[in-house]
Amino acid sequence: MSQNKIMPMSGFPEWLPQQRAVEAHFLDVIRRTFESHGFVGIETRAVEPVERLLGKGGDADKEIYGVSRLAADAEEKDSETALGLHFDLTVPFARYVVENSGKLVFPFRRYQIQKVWRGERPQDGRFREFVQADIDIVDAGELPFHYEVELPLVIADAFAELPIGPFRIQVNNRKIPEGFYLGLGLAPEQVVPVLRVVDKLDKVGPEAVTEMLTEAGLTAEQAAQCLALAEINAPDSSFADRVRALGVEHPVLEEGLQALSTVMDAAAEHAPGLLLADLKVARGLDYYTGTVYETQLVGQESYGSICSGGRYDALASDGKHTYPGVGISIGVSRLLAKLMPTLEASRMSPSVVLVALANEEERPRSMRIAAALRERGIACEVAPSAAKFGKQIKFADRRGIPFVWFPGSPADDGTPAVDQVKDLRSGEQVDADPATWTPPEADLHISVTTR
């Protein structure tokens, strides 16, 4: 092995145990919430054909990590079977649906929590390897519109159980900017490039966006109208009148306005204040065709979106059958990177109890005590060595284990041994039986709180 100093790799986060406990809590809450809404879990392979990944628009060609054998020759690396790590979970899911369509029941509701990889420059909240938690609903042939309302409600339920503070889900419909641009006189092939430029508005500001739009061939008036559309937002369907007041007309635009108004009206009934119609939200990937979502932490909008997605009508297709879908993805690693300094796990170890050792000869008995506790759902471990009890207590305290169990010794007169358990927080020590003793409910599992 090389003796060179080991250095961390930028963009590949690794959590310490207590931080990992926070991440695990978030993932457990998200998974339970998804399942409570009827989503079933799947996992897809880490790699997809590069050709498929490259066809999904955005800057995917700059972000894909290629995968090949070290001994692969040039022909293998350049062939149509070349593989790349997936950069999101939607593209592999669409492939999964097509491959397994005959075995799935539609509409198919799935959740997927996995790592993804993107070869972009690491920066605040952006990584090369990170965890996403996705939900999608796909149907065969047609997808009812009401699912576009349902997904943000699921996210709201998950976030309500997590210590993330206030958040806002911004929503738009891709048909609104597309129809608007066509109504301005842009050619169809200009629409997607303009969408990508406008999607950078929060990152680079209106002046830079205006410059990029004029460089793309738009007139000053067209660029100004694009910015005017992007500036419109509203907590209800009143945004539609403001768009129409700009004087641009197109059938696709009107279709988008009606669709987004329906989403906003439905959300107002089920979760007032949850959604904000924000017409600068576009999403850079080409496969989105309808409603699109982005979620921001209130007061930390400059950080960008921590949860996003949208509707796609043609991503999952085998040429004969199409499976339209709508999905939304929580950027778990991105969210935690922002929140981790403010969060604290109650302990780093899942153990509730450390079973102490008087001496090594007593280890079998301590192991039996631990087994009895585990059978009743109480996580525990046996002390690593028969050190002085004071050192064993310090070991438990350093790991945040709240209780230490002291096995009793039989008396000389034959009286049965009596065990005791000590609460390290209060100092209270009481007699205990591993067949009946139960810790407080709050101690059974690691909890996460805000510092």
Q: Which token pair is 248?
A: 């641009």
Domains of the chain: 17-344 (3.30.930.10), 353-450 (3.40.50.800)
Instruction: Using pLDDT thresholds of 50, 70 and 90, give the confidence band for residue 2.
Output: low
The answer on whether 374 is annotated among ligand-binding residues is no
- The torsion angles phi and psi of 177, rounded to 5 degrees, stand at -65, -35
CA dist., res. 213 & res. 215, Å (int): 5
Place of tokens 């009206």: 265
Q: What integer pLDDT is reported at residue 223 of this predicted model?
A: 95
Q: Which token pair is 11?
A: 């963009």
The answer on whether 52 is annotated among ligand-binding residues is no
The answer on whether 287 is annotated among ligand-binding residues is yes
How does the average pLDDT of the chain come out, rounded? Answer: 92
Instruction: Using pLDDT thresholds of 50, 70 and 90, give the confidence band for residue 79.
Output: low
How many Å separate Cα 7 from the centre of its chain? 27
Residues 4-41 have pLDDT tens digits of: 788 888 999 999 999 999 999 999 999 999 999 999 99
Residues 300-338 have pLDDT tens digits of: 988 989 999 999 998 889 889 999 999 999 999 999 999
- 218 in Cβ contact with 182 (< 8 Å): no
Among 88, 92, 121, 278, residue whose Cα is nearest residue 201: 278
The answer on whether 118 is annotated among ligand-binding residues is yes
Q: What integer pLDDT is reported at residue 47 of this predicted model?
A: 95
Reported as type and span, the H/E element at residue 450 is strand 448-450
Beta bridge partners of 419: 432
**Of 195-199, 351-355, 420-424, 437-441, the least confident:** 195-199
The answer on whether 111 is annotated among ligand-binding residues is no
Place of tokens 């450390």: 354
Residue range 257-281: mean pLDDT, rounded:
90
Residue range 153-167: mean pLDDT, rounded:
94
Q: Which token pair is 375?
A: 């059978």
Helix residue ranges per DSSP H, 184-250: 188-198, 201-204, 206-215, 220-230, 239-244
Helix residue ranges per DSSP H, 107-200: 147-160, 175-183, 188-198
Residue 1 scores a pLDDT above 50: no
Q: Which token pair is 118?
A: 């993107």
Handedness of CA 281, 34, 448, 117 (dihedral sign): negative
Residue 271 scores a pLDDT above 90: no
Residues 359-384 have pLDDT tens digits of: 999 999 999 999 999 999 999 999 99
The answer on whether 128 is annotated among ligand-binding residues is no
- The torsion angles phi and psi of 156, rounded to 5 degrees, stand at -60, -40
Residue range 64-78: mean pLDDT, rounded:
78
- The torsion angles phi and psi of 328, rounded to 5 degrees, stand at -145, 145
Residue range 219-245: mean pLDDT, rounded:
95
The answer on whether 136 is annotated among ligand-binding residues is yes
- 106 in Cβ contact with 68 (< 8 Å): no
**Of 11-25, 258-272, 338-352, 403-417, the least confident:** 403-417
